[in-house]
A and B are shown apart, each in its own frame.
Chain A
Amino acid sequence: MGTSSRHPPLEGVFFPTGSSRRAPARLVSRAPVADEADGPEDWVLDLLADDGSVAASAPLSALVVDPQLGSTARRMTFPDGTMFETNDHSGVEALVGRDRWSILHGLEQFHPRLIAITIAALVGMFLVYRFALEYLVVAAIALTPGPVIEQLDRGTMQTLDFTVTDPTELTPARQDEVRAVFANVVAALPADQAERHSFELLFRDAPRMGPNAFALPGGTIVFTDQFVETFPDADMIAGVMGHEIGHVIDQHGLQQFYRALGLYFLITMLAGETGPLMEDVLLEGNALLSLSYSRRHEREADEFGLRLAHAAGYDPFALRAFFVELSTLTGDRPEFLSTHPSSSDRADEIERFIEDELGLR
């Protein structure tokens, strides 16, 4: 005792243990009594209330000092729970010295260095988006139980039946013809792929959707009555079936879904709270966008479908004819507006693929 304090006193307020009672206080430091000393640097700190009484006292090493965060008030908690709060940032730093949190605080300062950090963060975000997302999607698909995906299919069909589709009006005989094509195409699948998925063919009357066919992630494949009526040719049906089965085998639907979800989690995890509107847009808007396949997925499915239809004994050129017919039916539009390659481009690509890969002419 009696040693003069080496550090100037810190002015602030203190709160007794677990109480909101706030009172002005000064934190003064003194050198420890020799036999109490843990080390030469371990000052003893006395918290003095306005009336001069000692509210708390402890060696510096026993205090919990919160790391500096921006210009927010600095807090120090005594072992008995008494809390001292001060805005004297340089005083605290002089007392407790610098640690790794101080380095962090230094990086966070508004300083030209922050420009480099910003650029690095932007580059990092781009790399995460470009590469890490892919792996996250693969992992998520691997972790999705099969029964859950099949349940997703059922849910989607219920929604569709409630909103746009009606029971089929095709004759049983016509349905059986298409089913026979379906059985042939599925039978041509390699054994390992056939094992992993169970495919189901459904017919629906959907005047609003027109001639259309689509696949759901669990293996449900839907042809509209309008499709079967507009394109009755078995070779064309086989080609389109192969295409839809390709979407299922390569899990394009799930990929799109998890991409959207993964992007949402990445952004919220990296950026913290994004605010009320951003959250909705990221989650729901993305999910909506994910309903359509990307152009790469369409090309992959085209190629898969051509191989499969060919292996099942159908004419692969029929898929090309299908797209030609489709483009005369609907008229083309610029490719950049669409998630789908335009029909005439697709027809050309299909022709190239058949000639180069399947060796047919």
Chain B
Amino acid sequence: MAFAPGTEQTFDFRGRAGEWFGIWIVNLLLSIVTFGIYSAWAKVRRLKYFYNNSYMDGRNFDYHATGWQILKGRLIFIAGYVVFSLIVSLAPIVGLILLIGLVALIPWLLVRAMMFNARMTSFSNVRFNFVGTYGRSFLVFILLPFVLYLAFGLLGGLAFFITVELFPEGGLLVGMVALVFAPVALAIYDRVIKGFSINNHMLGNAGFTLDISLRPFLMAQIAALAWVIFVGGIGIIVTGFSVDAFVRAIEGLERGETSGFGVIALFYFLIFFAIIPAAFIYQALIRNAVYNHTSLKGGHRFRSDISWSTYCWIAVSNFVIAVCTLGLMLPWAQIRMMKYLSDHTHVTPGSSMDDFIGDQVAAGNAIGDAYGDFEAVDIGLPV
């Protein structure tokens, strides 16, 4: 418990696989026996177990939502969907208007989900909060994707026009534009989302701040893309994979041919080695960059130093082990991943961690939470 401001501390995850297995399997059985109803309580128990076992400076996190709140949110969500699809089936015109209303509703649901999750989470007896507004949420989740998509379409159209008009046998330019613009657009978008999430989170009355340029996002995109092109390229050259042969093989499968089996296996092989590690490279680089540029009022600074290769190895081997054991090793895999992430997440406190003060916020409502459950909204909490 010895503690001095300015000394880096590392997150300490104390969950144990054996203990978590017992909780997890009971969660599973009760969820099945109750036709899914208990899964709301199971979620609370799961999050509480992981939060309670996450320590920093000897203080842990906690999750405060009740099973009823989660269940209520899910029921409201299901009822809303049923009513909506009935209306669309019976009166398509009304449905169309509703659909536009739904687009306007999504930013609100997302804000509610983040608010609910934040307020239901505490660290050292102080609740988190989320203070993002509907307006910002609309800009981030609706308008920006729309603008980026539009720009992509316009640029693509322009490139297509130039190709068709000036270089009839081209097509290269279209690909080039897509190749350059898509990573830039994704980098911009990811940065905006992360900023919206982190800058609007608070621990009590202390705000989080993400101060980061576009550069790390671009670099991560380039690194991931380079992996795909480099490894995929080598793979294609070495194995002689061809798209035409692949399409023919798929068609052959439809007709019941075996000849194309090798080509299809090769396709999955290439996906496995060229695409999956690229996704982990991106995630690892972005996690590190985001943590390293995040601070909490009071002079607390964060640092993450996960390595993409270890991260990738843990994720892939976890997956293989979980599948081979019919999912029974999943709890062990979850603990293993959590331990790795905690061991590589650090805080340099700027002042005493005794000084956080909560706002005693009222409990958020549960509709947003069920939505978050479906969309798996990343709420950007430490760890």
Contact = CB atoms under 8 A, between A and B. Distances in A.
A108 interface: yes
A15 B337 contact: no
A143 B85 contact: yes
B254 A340 contact: yes
Contact of B42 (A73, A272, A334): A272
A70 B20 contact: yes
Interface string B67-85: 0000000000000011001
Interface stretch (A49-57, A117-125, A240-248, A299-307): A117-125
B53 A72 contact: yes
Contacts of B318: 275, 277-278
A20 B204 contact: yes
Contacts of B62: 75
Contact of B19 (A71, A267, A281): A71
Interface majority SS (helix, strand, loop, mixed), chain B: helix
Interface stretch (B31-39, B104-112, B221-229): B31-39
Contact of A277 (B315, B334, B357): B315
Contacts of B22: 70, 107-111, 114
B330 A271 contact: yes
Contact of A338 (B39, B81, B253): B253
A148 interface: yes
Contact of A19 (B23, B248, B327, B358): B358
Given A108-B23, A109-B22, A269-B39, A330 B32 contact: no
A18 B126 contact: yes
A332 to B, nearest CB: 6
B28 A121 contact: yes
Question: Most B CB atoms within 10 A — which of A333, A339, A340?
Answer: A333
Interface in A23-39: none
B257 A333 contact: yes
Given A143-B85, A277-B315, A20 B354 contact: yes
Nearest to A275: B318
A104 interface: yes
B32 A128 contact: yes
B213 interface: no
Contacts of A117: 25-26, 29
Interface in A119-138: 120-122, 124-125, 127-128
B92 A147 contact: yes
A137 B34 CA distance: 19
Contacts, number: 199
B316 A292 contact: no
Interface in A274-313: 274-281, 292
B52 A72 contact: yes
A187 interface: no
Interface string B41-79: 011011011001100000110100000000000000000
Contacts of A335: 256
Contact of A270 (B32, B48, B337): B32
Nearest to A19: B357
Interface residues of A, number: 72
Nearest to B78: A143
A104 to B, nearest CB: 7
Contact of A124 (B33, B251, B355): B33
21 contacts: A18-B357, A19-B354, A19-B357, A20-B204, A69-B23, A70-B49, A81-B360, A83-B125, A108-B23, A114-B21, A118-B25, A124-B32, A145-B88, A145-B92, A208-B248, A274-B330, A277-B318, A330-B255, A332-B256, A340-B253, A340-B256
Interface of B: 15-16, 18-29, 31-33, 36, 39, 42-43, 45-46, 48-49, 52-53, 59-60, 62, 81-82, 85-86, 88-89, 92, 95, 123-127, 204, 244, 247-248, 251-259, 261, 276, 279-280, 283, 315-316, 318-319, 322, 326-328, 330, 333-334, 337, 353-360, 376
Given A338-B253, A340-B254, 14 more contacts: A15-B125, A110-B18, A114-B21, A118-B25, A124-B33, A125-B32, A147-B88, A148-B88, A271-B330, A278-B319, A278-B322, A330-B255, A338-B256, A342-B256
